[in-house]
């Protein structure tokens, strides 16, 4: 995924300043995207961003940005621990992730264009912390979308994913191939496989997800915020189902 516009402030973390949001013709949406690794959250996030203008805030992107050197400064001890866990395909501790999101809350969770949280919260503890941060800002979630698909399809999506080393644009060897094999269409950079998309890490990630997802889903189900979407079709057809939910949450003005 290509970190563009004001998402750069999200990736820089801390108190990095956001470029001024451009006006967008729909009401701001405050959304959480849930679902197992590889189900297509990032792919749908790109389409939702284009449709409603909210910024995609992916915790996985923060970690990957830090892993490739971030701002150039050495990672903090908490970030170094997070990166080691991620390389093993494990979840990062709740305290670390919550702290990283909290650092950005005054800007990103308070943005007048809304937000699209992708990959956070992953545990009930993170979900409760998010509730606390939003209530301090006097904000509320409009909805939580949970994507699901059969495990064999998820493994196929993860093992075929390729990402540009330079601009982070995402591809899939079969579903979304680049024009020239191994070369990014957008910038000519080299395409690579994420370390956590290798077979051993995929298994660990799916197990880690299965162990933590139900309490998070219950948390939002109880609040009446959860929308479930079956994500085994192509990205366009999954987005058509997503749009039905978005239109209920924020009817076009």
Pairing of strands 191-192, 114-118: unpaired
38 binds ligand AP5 (CB under 6 A): yes
Adjacency order of strands within the sheet including 170-172: 170-172, 161-164, 191-192
Q: Which is nearer to ligand AP5, 21 or 233 (CB)?
A: 233
DSSP β-ladder status, 29-34 and 143-148: parallel
Please state, as a whole number, how many other Cβ atoms lie within 10 Å of the Cβ of residue 252. Answer: 10
Q: How many CB atoms neighbour CB 82 within 10 A?
A: 25
- 42 binding ligand AP5? (CB under 6 A): yes
Stretch that binds ligand AP5, among 36-44, 66-74, 108-116, 178-186 (CB under 6 A): 36-44
Q: Is 51 helix (H, G, I), strand (E, B) or coil?
A: helix
Q: Does 48 bind ligand AP5 (CB under 6 A)?
A: no
Cα–Cα distance measured from residue 244 to residue 20, given in angstroms and rounded to the nearest whole number: 29
Q: Which is nearer to ligand AP5, 28 or 170 (CB)?
A: 170
- 102 noted as active-site residue: no
The distance of closest approach from Cβ of residue 49 to ligand AP5 in the complex, given in angstroms and rounded to an integer, is 13
**Active-site residue 161, yes or no?**
yes
DSSP-assigned letter for residue 18: P
Active site residue ranges: 41, 122, 161, 194, 205
User: Footprint of ligand AP5 on this chain (CB under 6 A)?
Assistant: 35, 37-43, 58-60, 63, 85-86, 90-92, 97, 119-120, 122, 126, 157, 160-161, 170, 172, 175-176, 196, 205, 231, 234-235, 238
């Amino acid at each position: 995924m290509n970190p563009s516009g004001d998402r750069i402030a999200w990736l820089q973390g801390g108190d990095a300043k956001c470029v001024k949001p451009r006006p967008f013709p729909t009401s701001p949406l405050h959304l959480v995207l849930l679902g197992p690794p590889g189900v297509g959250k990032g792919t749908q996030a790109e389409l939702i961003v284009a449709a409603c203008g909210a910024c995609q805030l992916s915790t996985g992107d923060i970690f990957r940005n830090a892993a490739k050197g971030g701002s150039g400064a050495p990672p903090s001890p908490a970030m170094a621990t997070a990166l080691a866990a991620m390389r093993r395909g494990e979840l990062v501790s709740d305290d670390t992730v919550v702290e990283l999101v909290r650092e950005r809350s005054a800007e990103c969770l308070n943005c007048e264009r809304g937000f699209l949280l992708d990959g956070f919260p992953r545990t009930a503890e993170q979900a409760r912390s998010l509730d606390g941060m939003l209530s301090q800002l006097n904000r509320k979630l409009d909805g939580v979308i949970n994507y699901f698909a059969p495990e064999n399809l998820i493994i196929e999506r993860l093992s075929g994913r390729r990402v540009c080393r330079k601009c982070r644009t995402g591809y899939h060897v079969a579903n979304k191939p680049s024009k020239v094999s191994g070369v990014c269409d957008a910038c000519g950079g080299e395409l690579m496989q994420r370390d956590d998309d290798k077979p051993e890490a995929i298994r660990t990630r799916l197990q880690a997800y299965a162990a933590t997802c139900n309490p998070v889903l219950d948390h939002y189900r109880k609040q009446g915020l959860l929308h479930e979407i079956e994500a085994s079709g192509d990205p366009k057809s999954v987005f058509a189902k997503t749009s039905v939910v978005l239109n209920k949450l924020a009817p076009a003005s």
